[in-house]
Structure 1
Amino acid sequence: MTGDRRKFSRQDEDTRRADLIAAAVALISEGGPAVATVRAIADRAGVTPGLIRHYFATKEALTRAAYSAVMDAMTEASLKVVAEAPARPEARLAVFVTSSLRPPVVDPAAMGLWAGFLHQMRRDADMRAAHEASYLHYRDLLQGLIADLPRKADAARLRADAIACNAVIDGLWLEGSALPDAFAPGELERIGLASVGAILGLDLAAHLPQEGNTA
C-alpha cells in the first residue's frame, strides 16, 4: 500500500509541474515573458503563488522549463512521424523534413514563445544553455538521419550538412509560423525538401512516402 501511495504522489507532482509549465507557456505565448508573472501563472494554473516555489526555485527556472518543453515537444512530434516511416534512410529524412514544416510543429504560439525569449538569451546564461541544448538535440537527430544516407561523407561534412539543413528548416519554420496564411498548403514542405535535397545532392521529394504508405 505504501508503495502505491508513493507512486500516486509522484505522478500527482509530475502532473502539477506539467500544469505550471503549460500555464507559463500559454501566458508567454500570449504576451511575452513580462506577462507571465508568478501570480498570473498561479491564477492560470489554479494554484497559489507559493505552490510554484515548491516546484521551481525562481520564475526564471519555470520559464526556462517552459521554453525547453515547447522546443522538445516540436522535436518529438517530428520523431514520432519518423518512427512510423519506411526504413529507407531517404524516406526517413524526407519525413523528418516535412513533419518539421507543418503543424503542429509550425505553430504561431511556439514561434511567439521562441521570439519572446530571444532577448533573454543574450543576458541569461541558463536560458542560453537551454536553447543550445534544444538546438543541438534537434541538429544531432538531423545529422544522424543524414549520416544514414547511402553516400560517402566524413564527420566534418556531416556536421556542415546538418548545420546547413537545419538552417533551412529553421528559416522556413520561422516564416511559416509567423505568417501562416502567406504560404499555400504544402508549399513550405516542398521548398524544404528541394532545399535540403540540393544541399545533400539527392532528390529528396522523390523519396517521400505517399500518405498512408509505409512500405
Structure 2
Amino acid sequence: MSRKAFRRLTLDERKRSLLEATLSCVAQHGLKGATVRRIAEEAGVTAGLLRHYFGSKNDLVTSAYAYLIGQLTADAETRARRSVGDANDQLRDFLIANMTTPNLSEEKVSLWATFVGRVRYETDFADIHREGYRDYLALLESLIEPVLAAQGLPHASTDCRRHAIAVNGLIDGLWMEGSLNAGLYSRTLLPDLVTEACERLLGLPQGSLSGGQQHK
C-alpha cells in the first residue's frame, strides 16, 4: 500500500480511526498483544466491524504499517509544499518537518522499529516497505532537483537519485536517534544539523538551506 493508497484511506474517517487505534495498541502492547479485541475496544467498535473493514488481523496490521509510513511522508511533504518560498525553502521545510513534531516522536519511531522487524520475513511488510521507500526517494528527488539546477550543479535523474538516497540516510539516522531522545543532546539541534549536513551532501554553498531559517 503506497502513499497514494494512504491518501485514499484518509477519505474514510472510520477506517482511519481503526488504523490509529491499531497503532495505539501496537505501541502499548506490541504486535502480539494488540489483539482484535483490544483494538476494537480502543476504537470503540465491535470486533465484527473491524473484520468488516479489514477481514483479518493481518490485513489490519499491514494496513496500519502502510498508514504509518504514508503519514510520516505526507506530513513532511505537506510542510514542504506549503512553503511560500523558493526550491531551497521547500527542501529546508521538508528536512525540518522530519526533525520536529509530529514526525519526531518516540512512539512513531518505536512503531516503525516494531513493524520493520517483519520486513525481512514477511512479503506483505516487505512490499509496503519497498513501495514506501520508493515513494520517499521520488519525493526527495523532486525537491532536490530544482535546488541543484538553481546552483548550476549536475541535476540529471541519476545525480538526483544518488543524492536522494544519501539524504534519506541522513534523515533516517537523525530521526531515529532524535526521536528516541536519549538525552545526549537537545532535540533543538536537529533542524540545524540536518540542513547543514544536507548542504554538504549536495555540495551547496554554506547557508543555502540553513541560513536565517525559522524553525516551525
TM-score by length of 2: 0.85
Partner of 1:65: 63
SS at match of 2:118: helix
State the 1:180 CA deviation.
Answer: 5.8
> 2:178, 2:187 within 8 Å by CA — same for their partners in 1?
no
Q: Is the 8 A contact 1:29 1:113 kept in 2?
A: yes
Secondary structure in 2 matching 1:97: helix
Task: Give the unaligned 5+ runs of structure 2.
Answer: 1-10
* Gapped regions of structure 1 (runs ≥ 5): 1-12
Cα distance in 1 for partners of 2:205, 2:129 equals: 32
- Residue 73 of structure 1 and its aligned partner are, at CA, apart by 1.5
1:47 aligns with 2:45: yes
Q: Which residue identity lines up with residue 173 of structure 2 in the other structure?
A: G
Is 1:211 aligned to residue 214 of structure 2?
yes
Indicate the SS of the match to 1:122. Answer: coil
8 Å CA contact 1:89, 1:148 repeated in 2: yes
| AA of the residue aligned to 2:144 | I
Q: % of aligned pairs identical? A: 30
Kept in 2: contact 1:78–1:96 (CA 8 A): yes
Superposed displacement of residue 205, structure 1:
4.1
Check whether the contact 1:94–1:204 (CA below 8 A) recurs between aligned residues: no
Query: How high is the TM-score relative to the length of structure 1?
Result: 0.85
Report the equivalent of 1:100: 98
* 1:32 match: secondary structure: helix
1:157 aligns with 2:159: yes
Match in the other structure for 2:3 = none
- Is 2:96–2:215's contact at 8 Å kept on the other side of the alignment? no
Does the C-alpha gap of structure 1 residues 19 and 86 become closer, same or farther in structure 2, counting only changes over 3 Å? closer
Q: Does 1:136 align with 2:130?
A: no
Render the CA deviation track for 1:133-155: whole Å, top value 9, x for unaligned: 22221221111111112222222
More helix by share: 1
Shift of 1:98: 1.1
1:19 is aligned to: 17
* Greater radius of gyration (CA): 1
Q: Distance in 1 between matches of 2:52 and 2:187?
A: 45
Are the structure 2 counterparts of residues 47 and 90 from structure 1 closer, same or farther at C-alpha, using a change threshold of 3 Å?
same
Name the SS of the counterpart of 2:12 in structure 1: helix
> Which piece of structure 1 moves more, 13-22 or 55-64?
13-22
Deviation at 1:57, TM superposition (A): 1.8
**Aligned residue in 2 for 1:120:** 118
Aligned length: 201
SS of residue matched to 1:141: helix
